Amino acid sequence: MQADYVIVGAGSAGCAMAYRLSEAGASVLVIEHGGTDAGPLIQMPAALSYPMNMSRYDWGFKTEPEPHLGGRRLVTPRGKVIGGSSSINGMVYVRGHAGDYDHWAESGAEGWAYADVLPYFKRMEDWHDGGQGGDADWRGRGGPLHVTRGPRDNPLHAAFVEAGRQAGYQVTDDYNGRQQEGFGPMEQTVWKGQRWSAANAYLKPTLKRPNCDLLRGLARRVVIEAGRAVGVEIDRGGKIEVIGARREVILAASSINSPKLLMLSGIGPAAHLAAHGIAVLADRPGVGQNLQDHLEIYLQMAASQPVTLFKYWNLWGKALIGAQWLFTRSGLGASNQFESAAFIRSKAGVRYPDIQYHFLPIAVRYDGQAAAEGHGFQAHVGPMRSASRGEITLSSSDPAAAPRILFNYMSTPEDWQDFRTCIRLTREIFAQEAFKPFVKHEIQPGAALQSDDELDGFLREHVESAYHPCGTCRMGRADDPNAVVDPACRVIGVDRLRVADSSIFPRIPNGNLNGPSIMTGEKAADHILGKGMLAASNARPWIHPKWQVAQR
């Protein structure tokens, strides 16, 4: 079996590339270890806590004991299903800040500045503001990816935005437009009440074309002959076979599995590969390094009125929501419930936001455990640009073995300072007049915890991943010894091999990574096809005029 292009991974970037490459007339084979996304648990937005906790849809990765978090092992969900992590994520849509991409370009990813990537964000979007305003000139229409806004019917969503305004922050009606900074509506990859994953947006239409096929199998390694990638060795139903690539092999297997596959193929830090008995074909010390993520805590408040979603947090309530969704694709089941958001700066002198908020009108964890207090609400909050870096390494040369994942979370004093700032700024927001009718008391961390040491103790036990791993096959200049791919996503030192997914991000962008991952696939497709890039944008994003002297 062979095709012009063999893509490993039917995730956010892989689906976008399959769509664009096959649209241009090339033949494409997509290799995916996971299976179908059929069924309500994936397709119903409000059921988002289920698929990311199911071994059927999730690779089930866990970190090594994290040394700065008391040896806790954190879960690292990655989608093992068509659509990849876009089929198990929280469906939050964030482009990232212009400053993030300008930083990429400055650090060696030439051609990936905001002016360069904005046209790709616009190409991929079909944006619907739901009558809530927004920056139409900055947004895309008619692309494969539907981006919508929740109804924001719950009074707590408006209270959150108004409290931000009362605390002196900006209000923005489109954080994906000209102005990210401020409080406003949150956007979601939901369409007609259904999760709009990369599988629904890109892969399913692509598979209707005669020149694209999907293969179920576990990719074992890239087959490289005379310095050129010629195919991918896969395990399909216990049988080992090689899928040939006439033009190129493209890895889009996630920031966890793409570096693992490179290392299994002989591309990576030479000493590490040799220790596992793998012949070194290209000594690239950066493979698996530069691992980054966003951490967050849930600051939870008990509610003084029964206005939260807790009234549905019982068998009967869930059955009603599920039935309404199954028959009409409407109601509470049709939203991820993240409908208000904020991006703020932690202090004066920070040029653009470095703290993100997801607001939720119920006090509940990602694993579906509701707060014991009953009615409540919460803000997920965390810093965006931690200096901590971790690594992905091989645990074994067996392709079926999970890699070793160490994020090295909270390894700098700034991480602790930044998180304490997050807690204190959030408490101030919840203390505003807009929340007076709704706040009973603070559940978590709890008002008794005030000193730096008390907050640090809470953080050590309670910070959780926001599930945004990236950076492990960093993009940079071809002469950068620690770069893994060049700005055209080509693996440095091997011909006809590319990586295009969140692993190539030089530094983690602001917010959730699904949008930037799909953009990466869209832009990489034009590099692969040798087409000219879309014309750069002249749009100038908003920066707070007093950022050097004021925090808000």
Identify the three-state secondary structure at position 521: helix
CATH architecture of 151-185+295-383+411-462: 2-Layer Sandwich (3.30)
Please, where in the chain does CATH 3.50.50.60 lie?
1-145+189-289+390-399+469-530
Beta carbons of 187 and 93 less than 8 angstroms apart:
yes
d(CA 472, CA 372): 39
Handedness of CA 298, 301, 305, 310 (dihedral sign): positive
87-103 pLDDT, tens digit each: 999 999 999 999 999 99
Q: Which of 97, 294, 358, 468 is catalytic?
A: 468
**Confidence class of residue 367 from pLDDT cuts 50, 70 and 90?**
confident
- The DSSP string of 78-102 is -B-BTTGGGGTS--B-----HHHHH
212-252 pLDDT, tens digit each: 999 999 999 999 999 999 999 999 999 999 999 999 999 99
Give 243's Cβ-side CA count (13 Å radius): 31
67-81 pLDDT, tens digit each: 999 999 999 999 999
The pair of structure tokens assigned to 385 is: 């640009």
Rg (CA), the chain: 22
d(CA 471, CA 259): 10
CB burial of 42-75 (b: ≥16 within 10 Å; e: otherwise) equals bbbbbbbbbbbeeeebbbebebbebebbeebebb
Percentage of the chain exceeding pLDDT 90: 97
- The DSSP string of 483-505 is -SB-TT-BBTTSBTEEE-SGGG-
The pair of structure tokens assigned to 444 is: 């978590």
Which stretch of DSSP H or E encloses residue 179?
none
Asked if the model's pLDDT at residue 82 lies above 90, the reply is yes
Mean pLDDT, residues 441-468: 97
Mean pLDDT, residues 373-388: 96
Beta carbons of 54 and 32 less than 8 angstroms apart:
no
Identify the three-state secondary structure at position 67: helix
d(CA 398, CA 513): 29
pLDDT reported for residue 369: 75
Mean pLDDT, residues 146-162: 97
pLDDT reported for residue 364: 86
Q: Is 272 a catalytic residue?
A: no
**Number of residues that make up the chain:** 552
d(CA 445, CA 449): 7
Asked if the model's pLDDT at residue 135 lies above 80, the reply is yes
pLDDT reported for residue 370: 75
- CATH homologous superfamily of domain 1-145+189-289+390-399+469-530? FAD/NAD(P)-binding domain (3.50.50.60)
d(CA 185, CA 338): 9
**Confidence class of residue 431 from pLDDT cuts 50, 70 and 90?**
very high
Beta carbons of 161 and 340 less than 8 angstroms apart:
yes
469-503 pLDDT, tens digit each: 999 999 999 999 999 999 999 999 999 999 999 99
d(CA 299, CA 492): 44
Mean pLDDT, residues 184-203: 98
What mean pLDDT value characterizes the chain?
A: 97
**Confidence class of residue 175 from pLDDT cuts 50, 70 and 90?**
very high
Please, where in the chain does CATH 3.30.410.40 lie?
151-185+295-383+411-462
The pair of structure tokens assigned to 311 is: 């009234």
pLDDT reported for residue 108: 98
